[in-house]
Amino acid sequence: MNKRWILNAALFLAVIALAIFTLSNNEVDTIESKRITVSDLKLSTFNEINIYFPSRATTSFILGDYGWKMNKPYNARADELYVYRILALLATTSSVKLKAENLDKFGLDNPALRVVFSNNSLKEEFIFGTYNPVTEDQYILYRGNIFLVSGGFSETASFVAEELIDKKAVASYEKVKQYDLSRLEQWQESRLKINHLNNSWSLVGSKAEIKQDEADEWFGMTWSNPESITVEPYKMDPRIGYKSFDMVLEDGKKITFYRIQEHPQLKLYRNDEKLLYSYPSDLGFTMLNPPITTLAD
C-alpha cells in the first residue's frame, strides 16, 4: 500500500511539473508573439549611418568596397561588429507602440541621440529618449510612434568614436606578400625580409631559414588574428628617429609602421592611416620577432 501511495504521489507531482512547464512555455510564446516590429526595413538597404549627439561631434559611417568605414570624426576602418549592432535597430521589436504624444514624458523632446540611416534616396531617423525604470529598455520615436527597445542600441551608438575603429592594424582584405623588418635593430645585420606568397613562407637573401608550420603559427598569433588593446588617431613627430618596418601588399601598396614605444606596451603608428595601435609587450615582442633559425656557416 505504501509503495502504491508513493508511486501515485510521484506521478501526481510529475503531472503538476509538466503542466507548469507547458504553461510557462505558452506564456513565453504569448509574450514573444505580442512583440511589435518597429520597422520593415532591411539592413542591406542603407549605405550610410549618422549618429548625432546633443553635445559632441557626429559619428558617421559609410559602406565602401571593402566594408564599413568611419568618415566622421575620423577617417578609419570601422569595427564592423559595432556597426552591425547599430544596424540591428532596423530589425528590432518593441513591447509597446504608442502615439507620438507627450514627448517630454519619454525624454523625446530633448533626445539623448539621433540615428539616421540613409542611402541615395531614403532617410530613416530614430530618436532616443529616456529609459524605462522597470525594464531598463529605452523609448524611441520612429515614424510618428513611440516604441520601447533594448537600451543596448544607444549604448553601442554612444561609444566614443575611437572605440568604433577597427582594432586590427592590418585589415582582413589587405593581403601581405612581404614583411621588411630590416630596419629594426635586431634584424639590421641580416637585413630580414620575409615573403609570403601562395601560403608559402620564404626569406630573401638570408643565411637563415623559416619553417612553414612555425611561420603559420606566428602569423596567426600576431598579424592575422589578434586585435590591438586600443587604437587612436595620432600625430607623429617626424623629427624623432623612430625605427620602422614595411609591409608590401599583393596589390603593390606599401604600409609603413613606426615603433613609437616598446614598453610597457608596444605602440605602432601606421603612417597611411595616421593611427596608433597598442599591444601587450609580450605579444608585441612576438610580432616583431618571427621564428627565424640561423644556419651555421
The pLDDT of residue 16: 53
Rounded distance between C-alpha atoms, residue 43 and residue 89, angstroms: 9
SS3 string, 156-213, reads HHCCCHHHHECCCCCCCCCCEEEEECCCCHHHCCCCCEEEEECCEEEECCCCEEECHH
Percent helix, percent strand, percent coil in the chain, to nearest 5: 30, 35, 35
CA dist list (Å): 130 to 91, 104, 211: 21, 9, 58
Q: What is the pLDDT of residues 28-60, one digit of tens each?
A: 333 445 899 999 999 999 999 999 999 999 999
The pLDDT of residue 26: 39
The pLDDT of residue 108: 97
The pLDDT of residue 11: 45
Encode the chain (297 residues) as per-residue pLDDT tens digits: 444 555 455 444 444 544 454 444 433 333 445 899 999 999 999 999 999 999 999 999 999 999 999 999 999 999 999 999 999 999 999 999 999 999 999 999 999 999 999 999 999 999 999 999 999 999 999 999 999 999 999 999 999 999 999 999 999 999 999 999 999 999 999 999 999 999 999 999 777 899 999 999 999 999 999 999 999 999 999 999 999 999 999 999 999 999 999 999 999 999 999 999 999 999 999 999 999 987 554
Give 157's Cβ-side CA count (13 Å radius).
25
- Sort 86 into a burial class: Cβ within 10 Å, 0-12 / 13-18 / 19+: buried
Rounded distance between C-alpha atoms, residue 6 and residue 1, angstroms: 9
The pLDDT of residue 205: 77
